Amino acid sequence: MNAAVEAARAGEQGRGFAVVAGEERHLAQRSASAAREIKAFTGDAVDRGEAGALLVDQAGATMSNIVASVQHVSGIIGEIAAGGEAQAAGLARINRAVKEMDAVTQQNAALVEEDAAVAQSMQEQADNLSRVIRVFKLAGGGAVVRPATPAKPGAALPAAARQEECEAL
């Protein structure tokens, strides 16, 4: 503004000076406008920097939560794996027990078959004995019971004594 006053006093010679002063005024206004814009941009950049720092802090907290969650899930997976191993060991024991029970069942089945064969053989022997006994006739229609003569161990009964015992039966 001072330059405009000086140009008016100078008159005709101050016209050039007035043009320069107008340009100066115009440049000063543009500089002030640019300074205001720079100040606004700087304020905006500071605000964005603060918001960015806040977002970084939030991201850090979120990452910490994610790490804790991953560790928790990892622990659960470890527990599941341990449970799976325990189940596998239990199933192996059950499998061994079932195999042992199968062996005992097969052994029992073999013994039952053997007992059945023995029972069949005893039945056949009883039938044969019954047929053999029917051949003998008892004297007087009744049974004759005679005490057996004691013999010395290893001594054989005479043939006549054996025949008499058979006839007595």
The pLDDT tens digits of the residues spanning 60-87 come to 999 999 999 999 999 999 999 999 999 9
The pLDDT tens digits of the residues spanning 26-55 come to 899 999 999 999 999 999 999 999 999 999
Nearest to residue 17, comparing CAs of 53, 9, 153?
A: 9
pLDDT for 64 equals 95
- Mean pLDDT, residues 140-155: 49
Among 1.10.3720.10, 1.10.10.350, 1.10.287.950, 1.20.140.90, name the CATH number for the domain at 1-125: 1.10.287.950
**Helix extents (H) in the chain:** 2-10, 14-135, 159-168
Q: Rounded to whole angstroms, how far apart are CA atoms 62 and 35? A: 40
Return the structure tokens found at 70.
Answer: 């991953």
pLDDT for 139 equals 65
Domain ranges across the chain: 1-125
The pLDDT tens digits of the residues spanning 98-113 come to 999 999 999 999 999 9
Residue with tokens 């029970």: 101
Q: Quick one: pLDDT band at residue 134, thresholds 50, 70, 90? A: confident
pLDDT for 153 equals 47
Contact criterion met (CB below 8 Å) for 17 and 10: yes
